[in-house]
Amino acid sequence: MFHPLGLRLFSFNEDGDDPSSYAAHAAFVSRFPAPETMVDYVHKRASFRDEALYAKDGGAPDMTREQLDINLREKTLLTLGLIWAAIDVTHHEEQEPFVVQVLGAILTLIDQVRPPRVCKHCGQ
């Protein structure tokens, strides 16, 4: 018997018996040789839109057609996946383990990835 594709089939954790967000965080971080590499990767992915659309000090954006195609394909797949996941989540009343894993891992990473906030007035 086949069941419809749903978020319950997914896990970000290497150990399928550990549904915690801590395990998802560890699995994500283990993909990088150092924390700095992970932060650089996240910043590079997050800045794609700015690099594709806005000029820099040196002039107009200089993204090649191939770079643009690759990044747009990745963004399209991510967007479709998020739309599908949002629809799937609304069809269930209980928490989806995959969503809890990923959101928990993101919360753990935010302090490492986000630059510290500085007061505009006092600099602290």
How does pLDDT run across 60-111, given as a tens digit for each residue?
A: 777 788 888 888 888 888 888 888 888 887 877 777 777 788 888 888 888 7
C-alpha span between 17 and 30 (Å, rounded): 18
Q: What is the pTM of this model?
A: 0.58
How does pLDDT run across 22-73, given as a tens digit for each residue?
A: 888 888 888 889 888 888 888 887 777 777 777 777 777 777 888 888 888 8
What distances in angstroms separate CA 82 from CA 61, 94, 95, 105, one per listed residue? 28, 18, 16, 17
Q: Calculate Rg over the CA atoms of the chain.
A: 18
Mean predicted lDDT score pLDDT of the chain: 79
- Taking the CA atoms of residue 78, residue 73, residue 11 and residue 111 in that order, the dihedral angle to the nearest 10 degrees is -60
pLDDT of residue 90: 81
pLDDT of residue 45: 79
